[in-house]
């Protein structure tokens, strides 16, 4: 019987979990560490989440919700062209490296895990995120910015994979030196929009 989604303590536990999971990874993280980071007793975690895996799933949904909401807000106010939207999406994704490094580390690793092992959990938020990207690509195909000969699903996976890897790289790099996220975002967008040549 999990507690209400809106409660402050639940949110505090999620924040703590994000920090601990990002640092240690899900499997190496202990529930007791999350509890301590949240300032609650071990057993309290189970008042809000069914088990450790449920904590992972709820955290993932919570954070992806956050990312998707902000992305949609951003896309709603930027230019309507597919290339502009792609650039915004890339920029927002890579900005996580400096604005929310814990979140960046968490999603770059746990997303892969969830795709493979939490099989009953179909990860709707991730699917939604890819859906946004695919809409951009397909709009680009309609506008003629993206040629129709390329399989949009493949493009989406490729772009997402590149984003994910570059995000991880930037995040790890930002631990020891400052990184120019905007430059990286521009170059990555250029790479996809124009190719290497």
What string marks each residue from 122 to 161 as x (binds a copy of itself by CB under 8 A) or -?
---------------x--x----xxx--xx--xx-xxxxx
Q: Which does 11 bind (CB under 5 to 8 A by kind): DNA, a copy of itself, none?
A: none
> For residue 101, with 0-12 CB atoms within 10 Å meaning exposed, 13-18 middle and 19 or more buried, which class applies?
middle
- In the chain, the largest separation of any two C-alpha atoms, in whole Å, equals 57
Shortest spacing between CB 196 and a copy of itself, in angstroms:
4
99 binding DNA? (CB under 7 A) = no
For residue 73, give both structure tokens: 């807000």
Least Å from the CB of residue 24 to DNA? 10
Partner from DNA, a copy of itself, none contacting 162, C-beta within 5 to 8 A by type: a copy of itself
Find which of a copy of itself, DNA, none residue 18 binds, CB within 5 to 8 Å per kind.
none
> Toward DNA, which CB reaches closer, 6 or 43?
43
Which of 131, 155, 157 lies closest to 145, judged by CA?
A: 155
Which entry of a copy of itself, DNA, none binds 133, CB below 5 to 8 A by partner kind? none
Binding-site member from 25, 47, 98, 113 for DNA (CB under 7 A): 47
Of 40 and 132, which CB lies nearer to DNA in the complex structure? 40
């Amino acid at each position: 019987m999990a507690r209400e989604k809106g409660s402050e303590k639940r949110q505090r536990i999620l924040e703590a979990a994000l920090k601990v999971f990002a640092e240690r990874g899900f499997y190496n993280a202990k529930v007791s560490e999350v509890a301590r980071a949240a300032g609650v007793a071990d057993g309290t975690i189970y008042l809000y989440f069914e088990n450790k895996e449920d904590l992972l799933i709820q955290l993932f949904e919570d954070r992806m919700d956050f990312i998707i909401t902000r992305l949609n807000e951003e896309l709603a106010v930027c230019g309507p062209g597919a290339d502009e939207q792609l650039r915004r999406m890339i920029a927002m994704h890579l900005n996580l490296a400096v604005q929310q490094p814990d979140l960046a580390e968490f999603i770059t690793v746990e997303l892969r895990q969830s795709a493979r092992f939490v099989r009953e959990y179909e990860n709707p938020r991730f699917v939604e995120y890819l859906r946004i990207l695919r809409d951009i690509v397909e709009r680009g195909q309609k506008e003629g910015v993206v040629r129709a000969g390329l399989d949009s699903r493949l493009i989406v996976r490729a772009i997402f994979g590149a984003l994910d890897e570059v995000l991880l790289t930037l995040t790890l790099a930002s631990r020891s030196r400052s990184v120019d996220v905007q430059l990286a975002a521009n170059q990555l967008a250029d790479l996809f929009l124009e190719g290497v040549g």
